[in-house]
Amino acid sequence: MLELAQSYSVDKWMEPAFRSLVKHHLSNPDTTNTMRLGLCRFAGLAKLRELILNTRLSLAFSGKQFFAKSMLCHDSNQCRRSWETIYWIRVSSKILHPDKPAPLEDIPSLVASWTDYPGICHLCYEASTQKVSSLPEATFVEEERLTRITVDKIMEMQKAFL
Ligand SMILES: [Zn+2]
């Protein structure tokens, strides 16, 4: 009954509240918003956070796939190893940051902004940066897509009660 009562007035505040909860730790949720969301939606939120974390993890561990060796490179194994290390330090650490994770769509610019890249030849760096920037946009907007799907699904569930 509480859920039913809530469903009449949640539309306006729910989406922003939901989005803000996605950004925060489930282990330390905003109690007021959690109570207002109700258990069912909170479970949906937990599932969404898991999906988003998986997306972030997979992109954090994609350094290897994002490397593109130049045909003219003399030691592409060395370049690949250095690329993986630098990607981990400068990109993965930012997208997995526990308090202020960088948005996934920032990955191409995070890669393109390296002013130095020890152990990587200029040609491999250029080829890899090019590879990352030419990846389909969908690779990096997964988080927004998942949030959209979940919010829509919850809104739908809510309408079914009315
Ligand atoms: Zn190289």
pLDDT in tens, 44-87: 778 888 888 888 899 999 999 999 999 999 999 999 999 999 99
In the numeric block, the tokens 């130049």 are attached to 70
Q: How far apart are CA 30 and CA 140, in angstroms?
A: 28
Q: Which domain holds residue 132?
A: 2-161
Mean pLDDT on 116-125:
97
- What is the rounded distance in angstroms from the CA atom of residue 111 to the CA atom of residue 91? 7
Whole-number Å distance, alpha carbon 83 to ligand 1 midpoint, is 10
Distance 73 CA to ligand 1 centre (A): 4
Q: For residue 2, name the pLDDT band (cuts at 50, 70, 90).
A: very low
User: 96 CA distance to ligand 1 centroid (A)?
Assistant: 27
How many domains does the chain fold into?
1
pLDDT score of 1: 42
Contact 159, 5 (CB under 8 A): no
Give the max Cα distance, the chain: 70
Ligand 1 centroid distance, CA of 77 (Å):
8
Residue reference for tokens 């390296």: 114
Q: How far is the CA of 122 from the centre of ligand 1 (A)?
A: 7
Q: What is the mean pLDDT of the chain?
A: 82
- For residue 5, how far is its CA from the centre of ligand 1 (angstroms)? 63
Decide: 74 and 134 in contact? Cβ < 8 Å: no
Residue 41 has pLDDT above 50, yes or no: yes
Q: What pTM value is reported for the model? A: 0.72
Mean pLDDT of 35-50: 76
> Up-side HSE of residue 123: CA atoms within 13 Å toward CB?
9
Residue 140 CA to residue 103 CA, distance in Å, equals: 9
Tell me which of 25 and 81 has the higher pLDDT: 81
Distance 95 CA to ligand 1 centre (A): 26
Ligand 1 centroid–CA 105 distance in Å is 26
Number of C-beta neighbours around residue 17 at 10 A:
19
